[in-house]
A and B are shown apart, each in its own frame.
Chain A
Amino acid sequence: DGGITQSPKYLFRKEGQNVTLSCEQNLNHDAMYWYRQDPGQGLRLIYYSQIVNDFQKGDIAEGYSVSREKKESFPLTVTSAQKNPTAFYLCASTTGRVAGANVLTFGAGSRLTVL
C-alpha cells in the first residue's frame, strides 16, 4: 500500500545531541513537508520541499535542517541549536502539481522527548 512512513515513532534525546527523523513516501509525490505540533496547538511548518535538491524554510526553521536528495525521502535533523525540541513531528506529502489537488497525506508522526 502507498503511504508515508515515519521513524522512529518515539525517540528520546539528551540535551546537546542531534537527532534525525526519517520520512519516506512511496506515493510518487513531488512535495514534502515537516510540521511540528505542541500539546493543544495546531501544526507549525518547519521546512518544505517541492522538488528534489530544493527546500524552503517554514515558520519555525531555526534549529532544524533537512535534505532532499531523493524524491522519496525527506529527513529532518533536530540540532542542538533547537532550544525546545520536545514535540510531535509530522511529515506530509502531496503531488504539488495541480491547484485544487493540494491534498496532503500524513505520516503517523514521531514523538521526540528531550531528557
Chain B
Amino acid sequence: DAKTTQPPSMDCAEGRAANLPCNHSTISGNEYVYWYRQIHSQGPQYIIHGLKNNETNEMASLIITEDRKSSTLILPHATLRDTAVYYCIASGQAGTALIFGKGTTLSVSS
C-alpha cells in the first residue's frame, strides 16, 4: 500500500468547514483512498473512500486531485463532536489489512 502523509494536527471553529489534507504521491492505479476517524478511546469509524472521482456522503466529501497524488477530506460544518483523529489510508487489494499511521488530530472549538 502507498504511504500517506498527513499534518499531525489542525484546528477548526465550530460551524466552519474542516479541510483535512492527505498526500499519497506514490499511490498506484488500483489503490483507493480511505478515510477513517477515531474519537478518543473508541474504535475507528469509516467515513468515506474513493478511487478517482470526488465522493460525497452524509458525513463528508472527498476531493481527489486529478493526478491522484493528494486528497482532501471536507467536513462541511464541523461540530464539537467531530473532534477526533482522522486517518487517510491508500489500499488496493480486497481483504488486505489497512495500515493506519498517526493521522491528523482535528480539534473543533466553539
A residues within 8 Å of B by Cβ?
A: 4, 30-31, 33, 35, 40-43, 45, 48, 50, 58, 88, 90, 92, 94-109, 111
Contact = CB atoms under 8 A, between A and B. Distances in A.
Contact of B45 (A45, A58, A102, A106): A106
Interface of B: 30, 32, 34, 36, 41-46, 49, 51, 87, 91-103
Q: Interface majority SS on B: helix, strand, loop or mixed?
A: loop
Given A96-B94, A97-B94, A100-B51, A108 B99 contact: no
A31 B97 CA distance: 9
A104 B44 contact: yes
B49 A105 contact: no
Nearest to A47: B97
B69 to A, nearest CB: 19
A48 B87 CA distance: 20
B32 A96 contact: no
Contacts of A31: 95
A33 B34 CA distance: 17
A41 B102 contact: yes
B91 A90 contact: no
Contact of A92 (B43, B96, B99, B101): B43
